C-alpha cells in the first residue's frame, strides 16, 4: 500500500472537546436558570398541563387493575366477615333459643301458679301444691303422676285440681309420688250439680269421644239440661268439696227411642296439659257419721206376744 493513501488524522478516541466538568457546570447553570424562570415566570405551566392531559388516560388505565384488585379483595373480606358474623349470630340464636322457650314455659307455669294460689286462698280446706311429672304409660288409661306422695301427706281418694277446675282423683299412692286418675277416664265418676237448675247428677268419664269428655248418664229426655250449663261438684260423695268447677255442657242429644238423653260435657280442667296442680285432703273423715236406725221398742215385742194370746 502506498504511504500517501494512509489517513494520518487522529482517531475519534483521541479527539479533544469540552471536559466533563465544563459540561456539568453548563447544564447545572441551565437547570438553575430554568428553575428560577419557572418559579418566577411560570414558563413550564402550560407544558405541564399538556403533558398531564396526555398522560392521564395512561395513568387511569394503569391504576384500574390495582383498584379492581383492591375492590375484589375488599368485597371478599366483607363477604367473609359477614359470613362469620352470621355464623356467630346463628350460634348465639341457637344458644338463646332454649332460654327463650324456657322463659315462655316459666311464664306459663308462673301464671298457673298464680291461679293455683288464688284458688288455694278461696278453698275452705288447705291444699298441697304438686307438679305433674309425666303421663301414665298405658295409652288406654288417662292418668298422670305427681311429685307428692305418702311422705307429703297424700292419701288415696284425694281430689286434685288445677287452676280451672277438677282434674281428677288420687287413686294410687307411693312414698314420694302419686297416681292421679283424670276425670275423663272411664273408671272415674263425680257427683255434680247443675248451677243453673240445681239438679244433681253423676258425670262419668268418656275418653273415646273428641279426645276425652264427660257424660251425664241416666238423665231423662225431658231433663232441663242445656248446652253451656256449668256443672260443679255437689259434695254429697264425701270426697270433693262442693262448688268446684267440673265441666260445662257441650251437647245434648235426645231420641224418642231411648228414655235417657245423651249429654256430653267438656272438662274445665286442662286434662291434656296440666303442669301444676293442687291436692286437697279427702273429706271422707270429715263427714258426720250416718245416724243409726233406732232399735225396735219393747212395747212392739209385747204386742206380738199379746197377739198370740188372743188366739
Q: What are the residue boundaries of the structural domains of the chain, listed by start?
A: 23-122, 128-279
Tell the CATH topology of 128-279: Thrombin, subunit H (2.40.10)
Q: Give the pLDDT mean for 7-17.
A: 57
Is the Cβ–Cβ distance between 282 and 154 less than 8 Å?
no
Residue 124: its pLDDT value, please? 57
Q: Which of 4-8, 133-137, 216-220, 302-306 has the highest mean pLDDT?
A: 216-220
Q: Return the pLDDT at 141.
A: 84
User: What pLDDT, in 10s, does the model give residues 43-67?
Assistant: 777 777 788 788 888 888 888 888 8
The reported pLDDT for the residue numbered 250 is 92
Q: Is the pLDDT of residue 113 over 90?
A: no
183 within 8 A of 238, measured Cβ to Cβ: no
Q: pLDDT-based confidence at 309, cuts 50/70/90?
A: very low
Region 19-27 average pLDDT? 86
DSSP character string of 248-268: EEEEEE--TT-SB-EEEEEES
Backbone angles phi, psi at 41, to 5 degrees: -115, 0
H-helix or E-strand spanning residue 135: strand 128-135
Residue 200 CA to residue 233 CA, distance in Å, equals 9
Q: What is the C-alpha separation between 196 and 199, in angstroms, rounded?
A: 8
Share the mean pLDDT of the chain: 80
Residue 9 pLDDT grade (very low, low, confident, very high; cuts 50, 70, 90): low
The cell numbers describing 296, all together, are: 225396735
Q: What span, in angstroms and rounded, lies between the C-alpha atoms of 77 and 81? A: 6
Return the percentage of the chain with pLDDT > 70, whole number.
Answer: 76
Q: Nearest to residue 276, comparing CAs of 189, 183, 180, 211?
A: 180
Give 149-178 pLDDT, tens digit per residue. Answer: 999 889 889 999 988 889 999 999 999 999
Cell of 225: 239440661
pLDDT at 109: 65
The DSSP letter of residue 290 is: P
Comparing 108 with 261, which gets the higher pLDDT?
Answer: 261
Q: What is the DSSP letter of 65?
A: H
Q: What number is the average pLDDT over the span 63-80? A: 86
The helix/strand/coil state of 206 is strand
Amino acid at each position: 500500500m502506498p504511504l500517501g493513501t494512509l489517513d494520518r488524522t487522529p482517531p475519534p478516541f483521541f479527539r479533544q472537546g469540552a471536559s466533563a466538568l465544563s459540561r456539568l457546570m453548563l447544564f447545572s447553570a441551565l437547570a438553575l436558570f430554568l428553575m428560577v424562570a419557572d418559579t418566577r415566570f411560570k414558563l413550564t405551566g402550560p407544558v405541564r398541563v399538556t403533558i398531564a392531559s396526555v398522560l392521564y388516560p395512561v395513568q387511569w388505565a394503569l391504576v384500574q387493575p390495582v383498584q379492581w384488585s383492591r375492590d375484589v379483595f375488599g368485597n371478599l373480606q366483607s363477604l367473609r366477615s359477614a359470613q362469620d358474623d352470621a355464623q356467630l349470630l346463628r350460634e348465639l340464636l341457637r344458644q338463646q333459643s332454649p332460654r327463650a322457650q324456657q322463659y315462655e314455659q316459666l311464664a306459663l307455669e308462673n301464671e298457673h301458679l298464680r291461679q293455683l294460689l288464688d284458688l288455694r286462698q278461696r278453698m275452705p280446706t288447705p291444699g298441697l301444691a304438686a307438679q305433674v311429672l309425666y303421663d301414665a304409660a298405658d295409652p288406654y288409661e288417662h292418668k298422670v303422676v305427681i311429685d307428692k306422695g305418702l311422705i307429703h301427706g297424700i292419701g288415696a281418694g284425694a281430689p286434685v285440681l288445677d287452676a280451672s277446675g277438677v282434674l281428677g282423683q288420687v287413686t294410687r299412692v307411693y312414698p314420694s309420688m302419686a297416681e292421679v286418675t283424670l276425670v275423663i277416664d272411664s273408671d272415674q265418676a263425680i257427683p255434680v250439680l247443675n248451677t243453673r237448675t240445681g239438679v244433681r247428677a253423676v258425670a262419668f268419664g268418656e275418653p273415646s269421644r273428641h279426645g276425652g269428655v264427660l257424660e251425664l248418664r241416666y238423665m231423662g229426655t225431658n231433663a232441663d239440661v242445656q248446652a253451656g250449663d256449668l256443672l260443679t261438684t255437689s259434695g254429697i260423695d264425701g270426697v270433693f268439696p262442693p262448688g268446684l268447677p267440673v265441666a260445662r255442657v257441650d251437647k245434648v242429644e235426645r231420641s224418642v227411642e231411648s228414655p235417657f238423653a245423651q249429654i256430653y260435657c267438656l272438662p274445665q280442667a286442662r286434662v291434656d296439659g296440666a303442669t301444676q296442680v293442687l291436692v286437697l285432703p279427702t273429706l271422707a273423715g270429715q263427714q258426720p257419721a250416718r245416724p243409726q236406725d233406732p232399735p225396735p221398742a219393747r212395747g212392739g215385742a209385747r204386742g206380738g206376744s199379746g197377739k198370740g194370746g188372743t188366739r
